[in-house]
């Protein structure tokens, strides 16, 4: 059974759940956008050699939200991850990330290569980018959303089943996989249920990095890298990803049947690749 942790960083209190022996191979696991630490519930028990600590990223799960008026910029997750590793007392450690978490893991590995022993990414490599011409309207949308937030009415669901159904409809998740994530993302509100995730996570990003900037990060990843893609996932549909793959010196790419959440829907196959990559 996982152990719940509370990590106090200089910025925020981050929640996490840990699997494996305290002297196992240290790996910090980072979930995807609007997911939480339970994203690794199916995968972690299949990797008993690891001390796998899955974070609730800021604004997700049981972790603190960012202070009022602050946006969730992609690059700001990198210092959060390093602060979590510091709170665990880990000088050298591996990274495992899914989707948003895979993007964060790739940037952390590029920024502090001396601390990262290996980086494994599932359906995520670097952040999304956008047309530079969309920058001004995106910033305006983000500002307007922030201004309207105090008056917004968050969605409420009459029961857990309705929340799980909403999560299924918003993604390619099966009911059982969605239920795992919803259990840690929901809270009781009156007679119903509402999301505990920060509403600001749904805002359009006020700024995006250019593809040239992202490629510069890919070139600085020194640790052995593994990317696991779903055959029907997001990455195989984005041809520009080939450029990112080519910039990482020690990258192995594997493809599994399924969509964007193979670690939840196909954990045995994911564990096979991860064991041979991290544990060898």
pLDDT at 279: 85
Q: 136 falls in which pLDDT band (50, 70, 90)? A: very high
Nearest by Cα to 30 from 88, 90, 78, 70: 78
Higher pLDDT, 238 or 46: 46
Q: How many domains does the chain have?
A: 1
Q: Does 180 reside within a domain?
A: no
- CB–CB of 232/259 below 8 Å? yes
Q: Which residues contact 190 (CB under 8 A, 6 or more apart)?
A: 156
Task: Name the percent of the chain lying above pLDDT 90.
Answer: 92
Active site residues: 99
Alpha helices in the chain (DSSP H): 77-88, 100-111, 135-148, 160-169, 175-185, 211-218, 241-247, 262-265, 267-274
- CB–CB of 62/15 below 8 Å? yes
pLDDT at 237: 86
Q: 216 falls in which pLDDT band (50, 70, 90)? A: very high
Structural domain including 68 reads 3-135+197-279
Q: What CATH number does the domain containing 119 carry? A: 3.40.50.1820
pLDDT at 130: 87
Residue 142 to residue 149: CA distance in whole angstroms? 11
| Assessment of whether the complete model's pTM goes beyond 0.85 | yes
pLDDT at 1: 85
pLDDT at 54: 98
Using only C-alpha atoms, what is the Rg of the chain? 18
Tokens of 246: 């080519």
The stretch 46-64 carries a mean pLDDT of: 98
Q: Does 187 reside within a domain?
A: no
Q: Does 146 reside within a domain?
A: no
Tokens of 63: 């972790």
Q: Does 75 reside within a domain?
A: yes
Reply yes or no on whether the pLDDT at 280 is more than 80. no
Distances (CA, A) of 75 to 102, 103, 126: 13, 10, 10
- Which tens digits make up the pLDDT trace of 179-191? 999 999 999 999 9
Q: Which residues contact 122 (CB under 8 A, 6 or more apart)?
A: 96, 97, 98, 99, 102, 227, 228, 262, 263, 270
pLDDT at 239: 87
Q: Which residues contact 180 (CB under 8 A, 6 or more apart)?
A: 38, 39, 41, 42, 264
Q: 171 falls in which pLDDT band (50, 70, 90)? A: confident
- Which tens digits make up the pLDDT trace of 74-130? 999 999 999 999 999 999 999 999 999 999 999 999 999 999 999 999 999 999 998
Q: Does 33 reside within a domain?
A: yes
Q: Does 61 reside within a domain?
A: yes
Task: Name the percent of the chain lying above pLDDT 70.
Answer: 100
If you count them, how many residues does the chain have?
A: 280
Residue 180 to residue 237: CA distance in whole angstroms? 27
Q: Does 173 reside within a domain?
A: no
């Amino acid at each position: 059974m996982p152990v719940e942790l509370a990590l106090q960083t200089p910025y925020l209190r981050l929640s996490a759940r840990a699997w494996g022996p305290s002297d196992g191979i240290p790996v910090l696991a980072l979930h995807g956008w609007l997911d939480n630490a339970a994203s690794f519930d199916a995968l972690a028990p299949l990797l008993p050699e690891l001390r796998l600590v899955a974070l609730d990223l800021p604004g997700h799960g049981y972790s603190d939200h960012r202070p009022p008026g602050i946006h969730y910029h992609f690059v700001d997750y990198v210092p959060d991850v390093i602060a979590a590793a510091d709170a665990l007392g880990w000088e050298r450690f591996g990274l495992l990330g899914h989707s948003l978490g895979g993007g964060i893991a790739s940037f952390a590995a590029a920024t502090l290569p001396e601390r990262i022993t290996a980086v494994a990414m599932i359906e995520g490599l670097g952040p999304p980018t956008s047309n530079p011409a969309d920058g001004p309207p995106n910033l305006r949308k983000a500002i307007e959303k922030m201004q309207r937030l105090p008056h917004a009415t968050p969605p409420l669901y009459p029961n857990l089943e309705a929340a799980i159904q909403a999560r299924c409809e918003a993604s390619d998740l099966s009911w059982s996989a969605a239920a795992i994530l919803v259990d840690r993302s929901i809270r009781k509100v009156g007679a119903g249920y509402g999301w505990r995730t920060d509403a600001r996570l749904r805002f359009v990003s006020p700024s995006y990095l250019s593809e040239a900037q992202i490629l510069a990060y890919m070139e600085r990843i020194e640790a052995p890298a593994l990317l696991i893609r779903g055959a029907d996932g997001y990455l195989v549909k984005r041809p520009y990803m080939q450029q990112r793959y080519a910039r990482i010196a020690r990258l192995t790419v594997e493809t599994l049947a399924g969509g964007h959440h193979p670690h939840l829907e196909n954990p045995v196959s994911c564990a096979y690749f991860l064991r041979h990559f991290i544990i060898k």
